[in-house]
Amino acid sequence: MLLLAALGVAAVGLTLCLPPIHQKADYHDFADARAFHGIPNALNVLSNLPFFVVGAMGLKILARPSPSFLEKWERGPVAVVMVAFLLVTFGSAVYHWNPNDRTLFWDRLPLALVFSSFLGVTLIERVSLCGGALLFLPFLAAGLGSVVYWAVAGDLRFYVLVQAGSILGIPAMILLFPPRYTGDRTLLLVVALYGLAKTFELLDVPVYRMGHLVSGHTLKHAVGGLAAWTYVRLLQRRRPARAPQSLVPPAPQA
């Protein structure tokens, strides 16, 4: 726990030392602007629907008795992740319907909630129940605050830190701390899929030019939705992890 705290402080300190990160002037210029039945930028708008489906599925699963949680209260932080998925649907759809800085605020706010809540859940499940529970709400506040800071100051440093903290911090906790639940490989797959989604976001124009069928940003939404679905399926299937077996053979009985 102390190691993670030190790394977190170091990350914040490094972020403060960096120059402000300003949004690119052409950020809102997406490759695929085709309309469909009156919906502008249709594929970028409609490709957010999987997040709604997955979020609703997740809340339904959480409402049922399940051996996937050792403590009943652990369902609460995971429910925040599912609500964040639902909000992503609306926030991203509103933004892509009319891309500008004002609507982008409502896109980034639920995304920051996804990153910070997912990081908080992993801290609870991997590192410390008590420490994670105490830090969960501050994590949410930091995530949402990073978006508010960008909207006020025009500086993306802390929003980038929230994303990077999730992408790097979650695998680090998986590797460094013993599991409370099964499904480590699936959890790593969730993070890898999100990394792939970010790659498609950066390749928005090149992907679209390959055949003018779909853009990289639309694929970002699709792969991001797949990552969310993979996490929900993990929640369905995981079970409390077995105690690690000792490498020392038991002493023979007298």
pLDDT digits (tens, 9 = 90+) for 171-204: 999 998 999 999 999 999 999 999 999 999 999 9
Q: How much is the pLDDT for 3?
A: 64
Dihedral sign, Cα of residue 34, residue 219, residue 229, residue 191: negative
Number of folded domains that form the chain = 1
Instruction: Give me the amino acid identity at 152.
Output: V
Distance CA 34, CA 17 (A): 41
Residue 178 lies in a domain: yes
Residue 152 lies in a domain: yes
Residue 1 lies in a domain: no
Residue 186 lies in a domain: yes
Distance CA 235, CA 61 (A): 8
Question: Which tokens is 242 given?
Answer: 């077995």
Distance CA 92, CA 81 (A): 16
Confidence of residue 63 (pLDDT cuts 50, 70, 90): very high
Residue 32 lies in a domain: no
Residue 19 lies in a domain: no
Distance CA 28, CA 99 (A): 6
CATH number at residue 147: 1.20.1070.10
The CA–CA distances, whole Å, from 239 to 69, 184, 254 equal: 8, 11, 37
pLDDT over threshold 60, residue 27: yes
Instruction: Kindly report the average pLDDT of the chain as a whole number.
Output: 91
Residue 131 lies in a domain: yes
DSSP class of residue 248?
S
Q: Which residue has the tokens 């999100």?
A: 194
Domain with 203 in it: 41-237
Question: Which tokens is 199 given?
Answer: 């790659």
As a whole number, mean pLDDT of residues 127-145 equals 94
The CA–CA distances, whole Å, from 9 to 16, 143, 161, 165, 171 equal: 11, 15, 12, 12, 18
Residue 29 lies in a domain: no
Distance CA 102, CA 80 (A): 24
